[in-house]
Structure 1
Amino acid sequence: MSEGRILLKGGTVVTMDPELGDIPNGDVLIGNGRIEQVAAGIEAPDAEVVDASGTLVIPGLIDTHLHMWQHPIRGLGAGLWGLEDYVTKVFPVRERFGPRDMHDATYTCAVEALANGTTTVLDFCHNILTHEHAEESLRAHRSTGQRVLFAYGMLGYEDRLAAERQSRLAHVSALHEELGSDPAALVRLGMAVTTLTYASIDEVRAEVEHARGLGLPMSIHQNVAGEITRLHEAGLLGADLLPVHSNNATDTELGLLAGCGCAISFTTEGEWGGGRPMSVVGRADRAGVLPTLGVDVPSRVAVDMLSQLRITFNIMRAAEAQAERDQGRWPLRRHGDTPYATPRRVLEYATVNGAKAVGLGDHLGTLTPGKQADVVVLRTGPFGVAVGDPAAHVVLQSTVGDIDAVLVAGRFRKRDGRLVDVDTGRLSSLVAGVRERVGVS
């Protein structure tokens, strides 16, 4: 048996590749960290055969917006009511975090996300108070085996940010030199650009131009109406800049984003629970913008992308139904492309679209030969796969308790329902240690 060669045998393979489609009783052959072959009846005598019968085999889930440093303070945001509550009750806690806390929080968040099927994450790290905060976060990422785009946050101590900007940009350059630009690397560098809520367009321009000069992907919070227009007028929009939330985007602004190949990261559970308008997800998709999904704040939302899939599907259906009622069309009837949201389309948000949004569309997002072998295997229980589209089973029937195996770059990070190479008994003490040091109980 050659080292690292694996044959997942006999599952329902949901490739998300439109040419390959779904393969009942299909096999996935993995070697050297990549997918070698996807078909029924693969023979590979030198590979380790893993029985996947009775399971769904899907691409690894991709979270495009996660503040991983908040993992140990989960629950602190449970009762939030609007953005003001978050800004006054949760966000100030970050200033009590030291570099060690950043390491431990990032590590525990990554481990939980991996256990729950998230193979790739954009860590929007907006708690880099010192260079050491960034370096300790990266040290944690290097140890987890998760694929990460570490978005270096330009948001720091507000009263010092202008003075620190050049030092931060120089640190980004140094980290880029260290990490390189290999798309297959598990840890890649990006930039979390300062939001226009807290910076001038010229300050944002300096950050964007620096990142683009290094070829780094970027992400930016977009909470205030009109910011997409301002970015467009400044010539800063591009497919390498991922706006987050954008609940207030007009149809004209969505057209601007579509025109430059942009995606949006929607964190639907937090946005919906925070009272934001949710029609934008469907409007963005219809406008040609790539919707992607993120958990956002572990202080409030579970690190669970399967839940995000289900919530997003139901929110989109509810928004479409409300639009139909507003037009006097009741009871509901199918017409044209309404309803637009389908389970398979929503699954694309966390696979195909997510890969494109983090700059890895040619490497992730589908189970296609040649791509990185980031794979999730879901048990379907004694009742088997649901009738109809197996993607609907993933979105509407599956929970994190069904996750049997998770592979990143062809290596098991979870197998037979258990994490691999993780001292699970140590996780609770790491969380407790952060809470004690930052004064949260």
Structure 2
Amino acid sequence: MQSNRRQFLASVVSTAAALAAGPSALAATAPRVTGKAAARTRPLLLKGGTILTMDPDQPDLLRGDILIHGSTITRIAAQIEAGNAQVIDARGRIVIPGFVDAHRHAWEGQLRRINPNSADLGNYIAGTHQAFAPHYRPRDMYVGNLLTALGAIDAGITTIIDNSHNSRSLRHALSAVDALHDAGIRAVHAPGAPLVGKWDSASWYADLATLQQERFGKSDGLLTLAMMTSVDRGQWAVGRRLGIPLVTEFFGQEMSAQLPALHREGLLGPDNIFNHCTDLSEEAWQILKATGVQVNVCPRSDTHWGLGTGIFGYQAAIDHGIRPGFSVDNESAYSGDMFAEMRAALYLQRSSALARKTGEHASAPVDMRALLSAATIDGSAVARLGQQTGSLREGKQADIVLINTNDINLYPSNNALGTVVGAAERSNVETVIIGGRIRKQHGKLLDLDMAALHAATEESQAYLFKAAGFTPDAFATQFQVRG
């Protein structure tokens, strides 16, 4: 399996001509990797861990076992004996459901920290969509999505909603999906129209149907299709005919003002997924609650790029009885892990609560379980995967993360929730299981040739930087491309 990954990733440097030949040639010669751990013939038994189930129907255990058959959790108990099982020693580990990132632009993977000092939305767009996005080839989509998905898995994120707003052609979309499949992550892939530049707009709706037919339903159940869309009645109608969720960037008073009419027309529902949700009106929040629209908030993104007032929508959501998921958004300015999101949310919410303390409607300080819920089970509900993942319960998919509390930064762990939310980091993620398959073990991603991945990334970067007229500067304080 590793040799296949090495061969395919290394081939990135020499397959440009083949990629230009069309979808069939793409499938045969593109720089694809399998990313699939070998299927087990025996059950998997996690033994002796501290289990945070995050499920109202499955109690936490100070010390317990989890038995997995195939992709499914079949038993959780204080003690399980399964003589023929492959055993993972979970003593000294906290066992949690995998994190769910409810909003990630995975195609931007090779643009990590390209513009760290960006302070507004326009500057972010200039540093990604205007500079690089129009030059992306299908192979660049593959590399970006692969980097993002592998980085997510490494940090304990087992599910992402991939907001792919650079789907310039069917070939671009196919490459993005292939990368998610090869990485082995659970993903809701939502292709959408690019913000700038040429793209195959005339065939987009037909391409969505082709993508649904060719790449979904044949991926071990890990991949599902959605549609990234603006507030557009025509686009929403197409997505609903295909039976897929509708993902929309949604924030501010101007967008809030569109909701009453949409509500009266019956166009809002649980298949809508709204990102950000900063600075919404009181009426807008009431409509979102009444219609069951799914909401995710971005603790770092909304502040970093100054969306509206820069106050992320978590408090407003919970004040209206909505449990939002958390999302990273992208990595063009900061890291891609959920630990940072939970901690940013903790301190932003508590700062806001203290500021309102003398007021009439002071907010209670958020606690660690609520934050971990937003990063797991609440995010899975946003992704419409709540019956499959997001918590540890018998019958659910085995998307599981083990955090090593014997590591020097976590030992001794006196409170499991406090350790995960307040102190843990990517390096403490020892084991990651997705759909019953081990993707990371002993602190290392499995089946990964880093040298080949580096070569693929560097080729993609070199091409994109040249095409955009961008000169890398490790010490830059502002983003610039040649005019």
1:134 pairs with 152, 162, 173, which one? 173
Q: 1:257 to 1:184 in 2, by over 3 A?
A: farther
1:367-414 deviation line (CA, Å, top 9, x unaligned)? 0000000000000125645334x2222100111110000000010000
2:250 equivalent in structure 1: 222
Structure 2: distance between partners of 1:94 and 1:279: 27
2:346 to 290, 293, 313: 313
Equivalents in 2 of 1:272, 1:26: separation in Å? 40
Cα distance change, pair 287–184 in 1 and its aligned pair in 2 (3 A): farther
Which residue matches 1:415? 441
SS, match of residue 356 in structure 2: helix
* Structure 1 stretch displaced more, 340-349 or 228-237: 228-237
Residue 144 in structure 1 maps to residue 144 in structure 2 = no
CA distance in 2, matches of 1:414, 1:302: 19
Structure 2 alignment gaps of length 5 or more: 1-39, 473-483
Aligned letter for 1:140?
A
Q: Match for residue 331 of structure 1?
A: none
The CA distance in 2 between the partners of 1:210 and 1:105, in whole Å, is 27
1:254–1:289 CA contact under 8 A, matched in 2: no
Partner of 1:438: 464
CA distance in 1, matches of 2:312, 2:144: 33
CA distance in 1, matches of 2:83, 2:270: 43
Tell me the distance in 2 between the aligned counterparts of 1:58 and 1:385.
Answer: 18
- 1:50 partnered with 2:88: yes
* Mapped partners of 2:205, 2:426: distance in 1: 38
Distance 1:133 1:258 in 2: 35
Show the counterpart of 1:170: 206
- Within a 5 Å distance, the mapping from 1:37-436 to structure 2 comes to 37-92=75-130, 93-155=132-194, 157=196, 165-180=201-216, 185-194=221-230, 196=231, 204-234=232-262, 235-275=266-306, 276-278=309-311, 280-325=313-358, 327=359, 338-381=363-406, 384=411, 386-388=413-415, 390-436=416-462
- Unaligned regions of 5+ residues in structure 1, if any? 197-203, 329-335
Q: TM-score, normalised by structure 1?
A: 0.90
* Partner amino acid, structure 2, of 1:289: I
Does the residue aligned with 2:267 lie in a helix, a strand or coil?
coil
Counterpart Cα distance in 1 of 2:367 and 2:160: 24
Q: 1:183 to 1:366 in 2, by over 3 A?
A: farther
Q: Distance in 1 between matches of 2:302 and 2:195?
A: 23
C-alpha change, 1:385 and 1:251, in structure 2 (3 Å) is farther
**Cα displacement (A) at 1:91:** 1.9
Structure 2 residue matching 1:298: 3-state secondary structure:
coil
**Partners in 2 of 1:218 and 1:46 — Cα distance?**
44
Q: Out of 69-78 and 403-412, give the one that drifted further.
A: 69-78
Give how far 1:224 is off: 3.6
RMSD: 2.0
* Secondary structure at the counterpart of residue 324 of structure 1: coil
**Cα distance between partner residues in 2 of 1:22 and 1:289:** 24
Q: Which moved more, 1:377-386 or 1:219-228?
A: 377-386
Q: Quick one: which amino acid aligns to residue 414 of structure 2?
A: V
Cα distance in 2, alignment partners of residues 112 and 279 from structure 1: 24
What's the offset of the Cα at 1:427?
A: 2.3
Q: 1:232: how far off?
A: 4.3
The change in CA–CA distance for 1:155 and 1:90 in structure 2 (over 3 A counts) is closer
TM-score normalised by length of structure 2: 0.83
Of residues 369-378 and 79-88 in structure 1, the stretch that sits farther from structure 2 once superposed is: 79-88
Q: 1:351 to 1:4 in 2, by over 3 A?
A: farther
State percent identity of aligned pairs.
28
In 2 relative to 1, CA 104–240 (structure 1 residues): closer, same or farther, beyond 3 Å? same
SS of 1:318's equivalent in the other structure is helix
* Whole-Å separation in 2 of the counterparts to 1:232 and 1:387: 49
Q: Would the alpha carbon gap of residues 105 and 180 (structure 1) be closer, same or farther in structure 2, given more than 3 Å must change?
A: closer
Within 1, Cα distance between the matches of 2:185 and 2:414? 33
SS at match of 2:460: helix
Contact 1:34–1:373 under 8 Å retained in 2: yes
- Which deviates the most, 71-80 or 223-232? 223-232
SS of match in other structure, 2:269: coil
Deviations 1:309-328 (A, max 9, x none): 11111111111111125x29
Deviation track 1:241-262 (CA, whole Å, cap 9, x = no partner) reads: 1111111112221111111122
**What is the aligned partner in structure 2 of residue 333 from structure 1?**
none
1:109–1:183 Cα change, 3 Å = closer
Distance in 2 (CA, whole Å) between partners of 1:224 and 1:183 is 37
Given that 1:108 and 1:430 are in contact with CA atoms closer than 8 Å, whether structure 2 keeps it comes out as no
| Residues 144 and 436 of structure 1: CA distance in aligned 2, closer, same or farther (over 3 Å) | same
Q: Distance in 1 between matches of 2:301 and 2:352?
A: 16
Contact 2:174 2:215 in 1 (8 A): no
Quick one: structure 1 residues 371 and 310, their matched pair in 2 at CA, closer, same or farther if it must change by over 3 Å? same
User: Which amino acid in 1 is paired with 2:227?
Assistant: M
Contact 1:77–1:86 (CA under 8 A) maintained in structure 2: yes
Q: What is the distance in 1 between the residues matched to 2:281 and 2:252?
A: 12
Deviation of 1:180 (Å)? 4.3
